[in-house]
A and B are shown apart, each in its own frame.
Chain A
């Protein structure tokens, strides 16, 4: 990434820093959801673990929508966010970053619903799902900064 060159300037531009932060977070979210997706399809060890209660969440009827595992939808979401942000870094069109930011609302709302399901319906916490909830919340926060925060984005 280019953050190395910008650090040689007087100050790092916040939009560039935010883009890098979005890239890192979406990559973390992608890795996390991809792990759950692979687990979903390979079946993994078919048992309930002494150490965690993830399987109760990931084997619940809420783990798929119309046969598609939520983990796969999550991985696709993070991939789209990552690629859009890459396109922004490449082309410099701030519209791309603003569309990415609007998209993070979808991820954030989905996460609220999934955390609600884990806490009140399934009554079990899946750590990997909570990592995803955290990354999508942070992405949403960055999206808000892009859309409504920093002068850089309005006045260029």
Chain B
């Protein structure tokens, strides 16, 4: 082995001077190394904190319900929650049970609307949105919405998700021929596209984005935080 040859001198000439360097110099070397590491950590933490607080949105008109929205909850409730969401977004799927729980608790005091904002990087997101809309044409939008979100992990990584969605349609007892033709219809495409465009006009930075009484809110971390925000809004609405 080559290393055998080197047995006599384990120290490289290039760095030998270092071994004999005064202690103060060696201490300075290590202190500077740890200062560099410490600074790196501080910069990294500062950057990630900055990134987690999105810049204030460009002020827009209050986001209001439209006649074409899919709405759940109390018809005359003054508190309105609108979600822009993507069926293939893992975070959106994480908020799905949170929304279900909120509606179970406040369903008589709030209105909830779901709008599509399929992101480019999610290859099945648009198809999923159209599947929900096509089910909506037969009055089963929310049922399909639940199935698609609950099953996200099963269809997310499939090369084709169409079969999964038609499977859901069958499960819901939909007219299959109509469902399939509706999924590709101009009407359904237009509905999804209009939602997406309205989101773009609001300069959405991601999904999900929630608008409470027309104003964008920071995504609450967990159910309790969301619940508090809703409760406060209900109080304010009197």
A interface with B by C-beta (< 8 Å): 2, 6, 13, 15-16, 19, 27, 30-31, 34-35, 38-39, 42-53, 55-56, 59, 79, 82-83, 86, 88-95, 97-98, 121-124, 152-156
Q: Counting CB contacts under 8 A, is B201 at the interface? A: no
**A55 CB contacts on chain B under 8 angstroms:** 90-91
| Known contacts A46-B91, A156-B13, A90 near B205 by CB under 8 Å | no
> Given A45-B54, A46-B219, A123-B157, 6 more contacts at CB 8 Å?
A13-B14, A35-B47, A48-B89, A51-B206, A156-B6, A156-B9
| Known contacts A88-B15, A89-B29, A91-B19, A45 near B44 by CB under 8 Å | no
Q: Counting CB contacts under 8 A, is B26 at the interface? A: yes
Chain B interface residue number, banded: 35 or more
Most A Cβ at <10 Å: residue of B12, B36, B43: B12
Indicate if the CB atoms of A94 and B18 lie closer than 8 Å.
Answer: no
Q: Shortest 9 CB-CB distances between A and B: which pairs?
A: A92-B15, A53-B121, A48-B89, A47-B206, A13-B14, A49-B206, A38-B48, A44-B52, A94-B12
Q: Counting CB contacts under 8 A, is B66 at the interface? A: no
CA distance A79 to B91 in the complex (A): 31
Indicate if the CB atoms of B40 and A31 lie closer than 8 Å.
Answer: yes
**B89 CB contacts on chain A under 8 angstroms:** 47-48
CA distance A93 to B16 in the complex (A): 8
CA distance A156 to B16 in the complex (A): 11
B interface with A by C-beta (< 8 Å): 2-3, 5-6, 9-19, 26, 29-30, 33, 36-37, 40-41, 43-45, 47-49, 51-54, 86, 89-92, 94-95, 119, 121-123, 157, 204-209, 219, 221
Contact for B207 among A43, A48, A51, A86, CB less than 8 A: A48
**B15 CB contacts on chain A under 8 angstroms:** 15-16, 19, 88-89, 91-92, 94
CA distance A62 to B70 in the complex (A): 35
Indicate if the CB atoms of A95 and B157 lie closer than 8 Å.
Answer: no
Contact for A34 among B44, B90, B122, CB less than 8 A: B44
Shortest Cβ distance from A20 into chain B, in angstroms? 11
CA distance A44 to B221 in the complex (A): 10
